């Protein structure tokens, strides 16, 4: 794929315009999207996923579409698509259960008692962690409780938990806070803050926070700094160990494609494990070598595995393993380059066509301050708009009353998906306006 030189101050719009001139294809033409797809070095990754078709989706008007055609799925920020190998891995473990019963705990390619350990390397690579800083366990909400029990230690003078709100305050005239505003607040109020707990990527606006700077300033003020990375893990490159994040946790059903209710992951930096040991104990956090000795004396596993509570669910480990197999075919840096191109192309088309429909992009315009998601704010309630999009086989995410989150995911979405979405949206808006 033609790519921007990171050292050049070239806007995405100028970049696309240059390609259009070079190849004699308008950026707003379907042929431009096709050209970008043909040049995409990651286009083969889509073949590793099961992509929904028009005939299988709820609410599609089959008289208005080709029922055998692939739908326009731009909702990976809510639920990632299923990797093709998922079914095989799940059926393999079901078959083992049927044939071996309890012996499946220690047998086969995925011994159930160790199934979570098979996922650690892949997760560590995605988020930039050491393997002993990662544990795959529980759900995201449970893990937030586990981590806050260990890390939130209020005192009479330091007890505040600093978090972001949904859309950041409107008195700033935008839907997000700048990093400088966050750092200024930390500098002024940090002495009273026990815990900084932000999202890596805000679910509503799609803003990608400056994790290293916020972490550094927060810790310099004596705060514990943790991150909810539900919308960041698998979306944007992370370097949790290098950035000295105290702790983090994330789910796996969005950009990590592990299925609804999939396993969560915990990160605890090696430097703070001893000072913040597990506060909620479970038998699976006990050293595996002596776990079944039943001495009633806790002997923690080494590293982040000590924070585990109970036996990992093998059937939930299978979808995550299938997804990690796809991630292993590329790098987060390569995915990031494609993501910037996809959202930049979406931004270009929105700016070209939708100003007259009172559609506003509330995601930061700087591509370094966003991930895969672009949030669109309309001057109307979007419930009816979304129903009409569904009739055309367009799947995106609605936040009432007036926001639609559109997410071309780097692993499996294409420039043609983006083109088809914008044209479908234009068609719907035109008919609703008539």
Binding residues for pyridoxal 5'-phosphate: 140-141, 168-171, 199, 228, 231, 253, 283
**Beta carbons within 8 Å of 423's beta carbon, 6+ residues apart:** none
CA dist 334 to 43, 56, 185, 311, 410, Å? 12, 32, 34, 35, 9
Distance CA(147)–CA(145), nearest Å, equals 6
Residue recorded with tokens 């796996």: 252
DSSP string, 167-210: SPPGGGTSSS--HHHHHHHHHHHGGGEEEEEEESB-TTT-BB--
Query: What residues form DSSP beta bridges with 377?
Result: 360, 403
Which of 57, 83, 53 is CA-nearest to residue 70?
53
Distance CA(205)–CA(339), nearest Å, equals 16
Distance CA(35)–CA(39), nearest Å, equals 6
Which residues are documented as binding site?
140-141, 168-171, 199, 228, 231, 253, 283
By DSSP bridging, strand 72-73 and strand 265-268 are unpaired
């Amino acid at each position: 794929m033609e790519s921007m030189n990171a050292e050049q101050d070239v806007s995405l719009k100028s970049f696309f315009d240059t390609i259009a001139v070079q190849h004699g294809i308008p950026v707003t033409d379907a042929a431009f999207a096709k050209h970008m797809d043909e040049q995409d070095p990651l286009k083969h990754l889509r073949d590793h996923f099961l992509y929904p078709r028009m005939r299988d989706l709820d609410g599609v008007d089959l008289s208005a579409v080709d029922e055998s055609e692939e739908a326009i799925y731009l909702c990976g920020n809510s639920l990632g698509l299923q990797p093709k190998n998922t079914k095989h891995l799940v059926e393999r473990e079901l078959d083992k259960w049927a044939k071996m019963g309890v012996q499946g705990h220690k047998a086969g390619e995925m011994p159930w008692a160790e199934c979570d350990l098979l996922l650690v390397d892949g997760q560590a690579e995605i988020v930039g962690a050491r393997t002993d800083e990662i544990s795959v366990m529980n759900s995201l909400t449970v893990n937030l409780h586990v981590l806050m029990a260990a890390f939130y230690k209020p005192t009479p003078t330091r007890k505040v938990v600093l978090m972001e709100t949904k859309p950041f305050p409107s008195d700033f005239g935008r839907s997000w806070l700048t990093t400088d505003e966050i750092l200024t607040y930390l500098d002024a109020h940090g002495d009273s803050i026990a815990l900084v707990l932000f999202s890596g990527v805000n679910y509503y606006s799609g803003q990608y926070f400056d994790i290293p700077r916020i972490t550094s300033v927060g810790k310099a003020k004596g705060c514990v700094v943790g991150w909810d990375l539900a919308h960041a893990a698998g979306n944007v490159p992370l370097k949790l160990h290098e950035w000295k994040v105290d702790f983090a946790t994330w789910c796996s059903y969005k950009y990590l494609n592990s299925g609804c209710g999939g396993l969560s992951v915990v990160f605890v930096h090696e430097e703070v494990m001893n000072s913040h040991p597990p506060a909620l104990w479970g038998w699976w956090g006990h050293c595996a070598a002596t776990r079944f000795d039943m001495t009633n004396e806790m002997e923690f596993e080494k590293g982040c595995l000590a924070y585990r509570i109970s036996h990992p669910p093998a059937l939930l480990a299978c979808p995550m393993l299938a997804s990690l197999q796809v991630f292993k075919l590329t790098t987060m840096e390569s995915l990031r380059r494609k993501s910037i191109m996809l959202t930049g192309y979406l931004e270009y088309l929105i700016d070209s066509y939708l100003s007259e429909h009172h559609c506003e992009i509330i995601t930061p315009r700087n591509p370094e301050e966003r991930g895969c998601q672009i949030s669109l704010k309309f001057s109307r309630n979007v419930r009816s708009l979304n129903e009409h999009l569904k009739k055309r086989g367009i799947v995106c995410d609605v936040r009432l009353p007036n926001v639609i989150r559109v997410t071309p995911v780097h692993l499996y979405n294409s420039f043609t998906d983006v083109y088809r979405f914008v044209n479908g949206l234009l068609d719907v808006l035109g008919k609703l306006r008539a």
